[in-house]
Structure 1
């Protein structure tokens, strides 16, 4: 599997994007327009385009969404690749977990779950409001001093990078714990 996907984990340079929502009001850019141009999160942005239903959701101006995009450095610092699941290794072994078509399918499902764990089908998303990610996990955010933290996990929000007509892009300093282990 490493021979197939490693390039998605390599950072690519992107230009910073200004917040365009004030220029266009409700009819301006949407998440799919700004996500790939937002500096520091291009690994995650590229992963969203690997799955047609996710890409379509981010391109749908009628459906608001909050994207909780981990920084490139957070994804690169993971103890395992986003498509790896320790349960797959236990069940199929280190060598066979991601070999062949079945292994490729497992890896793709795991990667999709990773991406969906970072997408909240709500925007605006109010403090303390518990919402469900597209992966089915419940999250809320709290504010402690100047910090915004996603719960569970105390995941720090670095910034709200973009506010556009169908949602917001929040940059995280870590990843959502999409698989407890």
Structure 2
């Protein structure tokens, strides 16, 4: 008898669990569950919100966060920008890091980025690199010459060439327009724009 009772307990437990599983359950307080869900409105989403989303431009996104003035600008709704974000593969192909400048090595030597003065030089070079990829127009119509927020490097524009959207000068292909948000657009580009002084 003990053996029969012992073998039926797991069967009864299984039956009880399956009966409970088939009973639909409702949240205790539906209103509070819904109010806890984040609600992002398209008008409140900014460039700083969407830039980190794409893995293809992760390096550039990180650089933007490393430059406080740029990070603040990308979060602001006071100015619309077009971000020309180079793909990680393009940044990795550069002959030197974006925070390095051959002129710094000529002036200071191999220790150009040592100490606080070196950190300041590197930060200034990185800011120049990032700002060279931020255009003061958004939306940015085809053929319209625009300035970069740095004010350096001359005018740039885009055109259709052999069925592809390219940034000029330099024939840098726009791979995709990744996002359009309240304060501008993120364009993923296949190359790095000229950021030399």
The normalised TM-score by structure 1 is 0.81
Helix, strand or coil for the counterpart of 2:55?
Answer: coil
Matched, 1:114 2:116: no
Correspondence for 2:66 = 50
Helix, strand or coil for the counterpart of 1:169?
Answer: strand
* Structure 1 residues 8-47: aligned runs within 5 Å: 24=41, 27-47=43-63
Deviation at 1:145, TM superposition (A): 2.9
Deviation at 1:24, TM superposition (A): 4.6
Matched, 1:154 2:154: no
Correspondence for 2:84 = 68
- Residue deviations 1:120-155, cap 9 Å, x none? 121001111111111213211111132111111111
Deviation at 1:96, TM superposition (A): 1.9
Gap runs ≥5 in structure 2: 1-39
The CA RMSD over aligned residues, in Å, is 1.5
* Aligned equivalents of 2:78, 2:107: Cα separation in 1: 41
Aligned counterpart in structure 2 of residue 90 of structure 1, from 82, 102, 106: 106
Gap runs ≥5 in structure 1: 1-22
Work out which structure has the larger RCO, using CA pairs closer than 8 Å and 6 or more positions apart in sequence: 1
Residue range with higher mean Cα deviation, 145-154 or 123-132: 145-154
- Which of structures 1 and 2 has the bigger CA Rg? 2
Helix, strand or coil for the counterpart of 1:34?
Answer: helix
* Aligned equivalents of 1:107, 1:166: Cα separation in 2: 28
Could you list the structure 1 runs, at least 4 aligned residues long, displaced by more than 4 angstroms after superposition: none
Count residues in correspondence: 156
